[in-house]
Chain A
Amino acid sequence: MAKNQLEGGKRPLSSSDFIKVEKLVKYFPVYSRGVLFKKEVGLVHAVDNVSFDIRRKETFGLVGESGCGKTTTARLILNLIEPTDGQVFFEGENVFEKLKSSSKAEKLKIRRKMQLIFQNPYGSLDPRMTVFDIISEPFVIHKHIPKKQWKEKVYKLLELVGLEEYHAERYPHEFSGGQRQRICIARALAVEPEFLVADEPVSSLDVSIRAQILNLLGELQQRVGLTYLYISHDLSSVRQISNRVAVMYLGEIVELADTDELFKEPLHPYTEALIAAVPIPDPNARSIKIVLPGEVPSPINPPSGCRFHPRCPQAKPACREKVPELVQVNPRHAVACHI
């Protein structure tokens, strides 16, 4: 089999910390509907004490079910929303402080280094702009490319994501979902970022198109040297593209490990159940199912102790009382579980 760029697990990674996330916390207040005044009635614990680091040129996968805080974490890292507590360091610099204290030009400089692609390529492209305008809009904002070179640069970006030059004059509605996602990627790459957050980039696409986009992301990583934070609820695609994976449950990271190790030897009962729940496209591989009882509890009043304990098949009394810490089991594997 030809060596594939997506088999990145075997690629040596530079150990220098690229992004460091420290004890990130985000609570959203919930208000009651008053007649005159809003009254705060509770806090949604969207992200609670999340720490991890992303290494240069790796793909870091973030998995979990809806409402577990994956997207909020990404938005905090990009500083699109303010954290309640915690720090994010980008190449050793504290992003929040930097963005607060520095001038507008400085802020743009940081922003240029990180970009985001969204789940829904239908909603994230302005229908009244041509592809050329969409991809060149970052040039208008960041002014890093002289106007004379715009055309050339846009064509180059289109080529990079597998589109043709003549596509530049068209509007988003003339494209299929997969092609639109390519346009979104081209727009994100227009500012030559180092770090790209891909928030469920293939979930809304058809199966045959998903492979195209996943392969494209892998290819771009090789060609441009990007670092990815890949967010998804789809474990199969996370396994395909990531070097390391963090599993989130109700705002907390429950397990973090190298991809192959996580999928071969999951240590947290939640990870185990999550993996077992995914149907495998092979009729001969009918797996033993671990069906978790119940549903994800409300993040407004998360369960005490280990947040997973009410659904955990192996829960002990200690799980109800003490919050488990994320412990390094070996250099490649960390887990937050008493058992």
Chain B
Amino acid sequence: MTETILNIEGLKTYFFTEAGIVTAVDGVSFNLKKGESLGLVGESGSGKTVTALSVLRIVPKPGKIVDGKVEFNGEDLLEKSEKEMQKIRGSEISIIFQDPSSSLNPVYNVETQLRDAIIAHQNVSKMEAKGKAIELLEVVGIPEAETRMREYPHQFSGGMKQRVAVARALACQPTLLFADEPTTNLDVTIQAQVLNLLNDLKKKFGMSLVMITHDMGIIAEMTTRIVVLYAGHVCEIAETRDLFERPRHPYTEALLAAVPRLDMRKTLRVIPGNIPNLIEPPSGCRFHPRCNYAKKICEEVVPVLEETEQGHFVACHEWRKISLKGERGH
């Protein structure tokens, strides 16, 4: 049994807005093994990004972590002081954001940004840090690293900027990397390059990776296990292959059926309705207003995660009674 690097239990992160309390993450639990690639899947507002931000404790105001446990290598990150967290961020846990143009600082050149990240966490001189920065840029595939690092972010193309962001995230060889929709803004051919790069680096540094995305294609190719989120709740956790073949939650099934595929034309199934408002989320199972199988109990009681078979968990009252079709069945 490989050891667990990250264990999240009952995480609740709420946003206290003027309009009301947004229950963005409401009781999310899952764990991550060392060296694993985990996918966090969900649509906008499902709480996937907020979960990652909560682990790093960088939830923006008016958001607050109100309950739960986030154990990283056995230590609860929610009990750490801000100073201790600063040491962990970047050096042990790192994150790549969706939009590299806004996550890189436009007024510093790439060299400074990388060097500062290295010096902040490692006891090295400026010159050593510079050498490391060049190495990093070479690792992420930026040609002529030594000259290009003197340039500013706006002088890089989108794909190159994302490579710089990857380089910065990896500056201190973190053991856990969150990648929050790292390729959503990129073209497909560049996306393929960045995904390849992430895969290579993961192997090279033996990192654990949490891939946050709504793209089922990327999930299928990049991960070994998946957590499906809907409106701040976990719907289903399973190994990738298992989830695609035998989804147990009606939402997972509907999500798979709603995605057009390149290798075949199929009838797109529509999930009726819209993503719920999280200030007044639906009672019971949050998916029930859009679910084809909803019964009375679904309106009243919040379903808990149950293990259906080895390693496959689902939060649905009806999973025993319904048979769902996976990717092959369409």
Q: Does A220 contact B (CB under 8 A)?
A: no
Determine the chain B residues whose CB is within 8 A of the CB of A280 once the complex forms: 217, 220-221, 261-263
Give CA–CA (A211, B259) in the complex, Å.
7
- In the complex, what's the smallest C-beta–C-beta distance from B212 to chain A, in angstroms? 14
- Total interface residues on B, CB under 8 Å, equals 45
Report Cα–Cα, A277/B217, bound state, in Å. 11
A208 touches B43 (CB 8 A): yes
Which residues of A have CB within 8 Å of B261? 236, 239, 280-282
Given known contacts A2-B267, A283-B241, A295-B157, A176 and B275 CB-to-CB distance under 8 angstroms: yes
State the Cβ distance, B217 to closest chain A Cβ, in Å: 3
B193: CB under 8 A from chain A? Answer: yes
Q: Is the CB of B189 within 8 A of A65?
A: yes
Nearest CB in chain A to that of B290: its residue: A208
One of A4-12, A32-40, A145-153, A317-325 at the interface = A4-12
User: B218 contacts A279, CB within 8 Å?
Assistant: yes
- A285 an interface residue at 8 Å Cβ cutoff? yes
Interchain CB contact under 8 A, B217 and A279: yes
CB-CB under 8 A from A179, the residues of chain B are: 274
The answer, yes or no, to whether B256 is at the interface (CB within 8 Å) is: yes
- The reply on B292 being an interface residue by CB < 8 A is no
Contact partners of A80 in chain B: CB under 8 A: none
Q: Is the CB of A279 within 8 A of B215?
A: yes
Q: Scan residues 183-234 of chain B and give those whose CB is less than 8 A from a CB of chain A.
A: 187-193, 195-196, 214-222
Could you tell me the distance between the alpha carbons of A276 and B274 in the complex, rounded to whole angstroms? 32
Q: Report the minimal beta-carbon distance from A98 to chain B, rounded to whole angstroms.
A: 36
Question: Which residue of B has the minimal Cβ distance to A5?
Answer: B267
| CA of A235 to CA of B191, assembled, Å | 13
A274–B188 touching, CB < 8 Å: yes
Which of B219, B266, B274 gathers most chain A CB within 10 Å?
B274
- Nearest-CB distance from A273 to chain B (Å)? 6
Inter-chain contact B216/A284, CB cutoff 8 Å: no
Measured between beta carbons, the chain A residues less than 8 angstroms from B263 are 263, 280, 282, 285
Contact B220 A282 (CB under 8 A): yes
Interface assignment of B86: CB less than 8 Å from any CB of chain A: no
B269 at interface by CB-CB < 8 Å: yes
Closest 10 CB pairs of A and B: A279-B217, A281-B216, A65-B187, A240-B260, A277-B192, A208-B271, A211-B258, A211-B268, A206-B43, A236-B260
- A-B contacts, 13 listed (Cβ < 8 Å): A6-B268, A65-B188, A206-B43, A208-B275, A235-B262, A237-B260, A278-B262, A279-B215, A279-B222, A281-B256, A282-B327, A283-B240, A284-B241
B residues whose Cβ falls under 8 Å from a Cβ of A = 43-44, 157, 159-160, 187-193, 195-196, 214-222, 240-241, 244, 254-256, 258-263, 265-271, 274-275, 327
Chain A interface (Cβ within 8 Å of chain B)?
Answer: 1-2, 4, 6-7, 9, 65-66, 176, 178-179, 206-212, 214-215, 233, 235-237, 239-240, 260, 263, 273-286, 289, 291-292, 295-296
Given contacts A65-B190, A280-B220, A283-B221, 16 further A-B contacts (CB under 8 A): A2-B267, A176-B275, A207-B255, A208-B43, A210-B260, A211-B270, A240-B268, A275-B262, A278-B188, A281-B216, A281-B244, A282-B220, A282-B327, A283-B244, A285-B220, A292-B193
